[in-house]
Structure 1
Amino acid sequence: MMPLSDTLSEEAQSLWDAARALALTAPQGGRTLPALLFFTDPARTPRPWETAARLPAGAGVVYRHFGAADRLETGRRLREATHGAGVQLLVGLDAELAEQIGADGVHLPERALSAAYGLSGRRPDWLLTGAAHSPEAVRAARDLHALVLSPVFPAGGASSIKAPLGLEGFSDLAAMAPCPVYALGGITAANASLLAASGACGLAGVEAIQTAFAG
């Protein structure tokens, strides 16, 4: 197999190296977690399967369809791109779609974190992650394998209206979390190394990952 340094761009390699370094030093909670999570968005990542196909083994994809009419087709294309490649595929909120496409788990938005209890009992094989943006959400999280805390830095999309946590704020929330935590929001190849001592178990992103792994 060709080494990653021969197949990834410098930007992608930098993100991947930073993510792997976090994954190697942070507790994994007894479950194999992706080091890098690519979050999709219908508006900002219109062809997510192309990015998914370029991710290295040990990464993951969180497919968020937000009710898109082509969600089943896109979900199947993502499953095709990730199946057998060592890349885990989670579906945002939609457990029914996750079942349909044979996904590896579900990612829950902050408003639906309570659904983790039922899902963990019904599908113990699934990887379950959830979003959190506040101390209250972090303290209330249960039955999850990992939390995704955001935004760490000023970010785009829905997170653009949220005040960034900053490195200190992120680290404080990570320390109180009952499970491993990912850093999401405004993370790029240029600032990813700043999270080295933050307590994060990995990195997550939308456009930054799409751009870095553009091929």
Structure 2
Amino acid sequence: MTQANPSNRLSSSRLGLSRWAGPPLILVTDEGRLPDPLAAAAALPPGSGVLLRHYGDPARVARAAALAALCRRRRLTLIVAADWRLAARLGAAGLHLPEGLARHGVLAPALGWLRRRRVLLTIAAHSPGALGRAAELGADAALVSPIFPSRSHPGAPVVGPVRLGLWKRLARQPLIALGGVTAATAGRLPRGTVAGLAAIDGLVPAERSRS
């Protein structure tokens, strides 16, 4: 996420974000484009979220512990991807499931932990079918991507604002936009379509107080 030139252009009221139980602005970690996410996370306004991916990082556990401590200090919502045991160890506020993992089922212990702790569940969705699976699993939100052309998936087909609006009508859970989301492109999203914005970089921090 861009840390320079903070702006309030991404405030909830200005973009017409719908509501969900989690943060409206989420930093998504990536070991290639954001090897050390701590500095970017420290620049987020309180009330934002951090989605820890770093799937191939051999130091993932240690990095996750440092990130969890920072999130507590900064009042950020930590969501851990794919590993419910790590999420439980860190006392994370949520678990994120990649679409493939959600498609092939989730281990009963993971669902049991989610229900006992009443933590957030987000699921990646790249199709209407994936949105249906997210609803079946009781997801609190679906991360839909890529909304716009993204450096993470160059040349990949994008959802786009129009199709996103159609998917919103089908979805039974709030949607979070991911992929090519910047201060400029976020303004192209139809008002009320998404409940949050997520990005690895290029997203200007929102204003420090929620609307």
Please give the range of the TM-score, normalised by the shorter of the 2 chains: 0.7 to 0.9
Matched AA of 2:193: G
Is this contact kept in 1: 2:81–2:98, CA < 8 A? yes
Q: Does 1:137 align with 2:126?
A: no
Match of 1:208 in 2: 202
| 1:168 aligned to which of 159, 162, 165 | 162
Higher relative contact order, structure no. (Cα contacts within 8 Å, ≥ 6 residues apart): 2
| Alpha-carbon distance, 1:161 to partner | 4.4
Looking at structure 2, the residues matched to 163 and 52 of structure 1 have their Cα atoms a distance apart, in angstroms, of 29
Q: Where in structure 2 are there 5+ consecutive unaligned residues?
A: 206-211
Question: Counterparts in 2 of 1:32-51, with a 5 A limit?
Answer: 32-51=21-40
Match of 1:5 in 2: none
TM-score, scaled to structure 1: 0.83
Is this contact kept in 2: 1:132–1:147, CA < 8 A? yes
| 1:119 aligned to which of 79, 103, 110 | 110
Q: Does 1:55 align with 2:55?
A: no
Match of 2:18 in 1: 26
| 1:109 aligned to which of 93, 98, 102 | 98
| Alpha-carbon distance, 1:100 to partner | 2.1
Tell me, what secondary structure is at the counterpart of 2:177?
Answer: strand
TM-score, scaled to structure 2: 0.84
Task: From the superposition, tell whether residues 80 and 61 of structure 1 become closer, same or farther in structure 2 (CA, over 3 Å).
Answer: same
Provide the aligned length of Structure 1 versus Structure 2: 197
| Alpha-carbon distance, 1:206 to partner | 0.7
| Alpha-carbon distance, 1:24 to partner | 6.4
| Alpha-carbon distance, 1:71 to partner | 0.4
Task: From the superposition, tell whether residues 59 and 188 of structure 1 become closer, same or farther in structure 2 (CA, over 3 Å).
Answer: same
Match of 1:3 in 2: none
CA RMSD of aligned residues (A): 2.2
Looking at structure 2, the residues matched to 203 and 105 of structure 1 have their Cα atoms a distance apart, in angstroms, of 16
| Alpha-carbon distance, 1:162 to partner | 2.5
Is this contact kept in 2: 1:23–1:201, CA < 8 A? no
Looking at structure 2, the residues matched to 34 and 22 of structure 1 have their Cα atoms a distance apart, in angstroms, of 16
Looking at structure 1, the residues matched to 35 and 164 of structure 2 have their Cα atoms a distance apart, in angstroms, of 29
Q: Does 1:73 align with 2:62?
A: yes
Q: Does 1:192 align with 2:191?
A: no
Identity over aligned residues, as a percent?
32
Match of 2:209 in 1: none
Residue deviations 1:50-96, cap 9 Å, x none? 11111112210000021311001110111111104221001110112
Task: From the superposition, tell whether residues 74 and 110 of structure 1 become closer, same or farther in structure 2 (CA, over 3 Å).
Answer: same
Looking at structure 2, the residues matched to 119 and 70 of structure 1 have their Cα atoms a distance apart, in angstroms, of 23
Q: Where in structure 1 are there 5+ consecutive unaligned residues?
A: 1-7
| Alpha-carbon distance, 1:97 to partner | 1.4
Residue deviations 1:133-156, cap 9 Å, x none? 011111222211000001111112
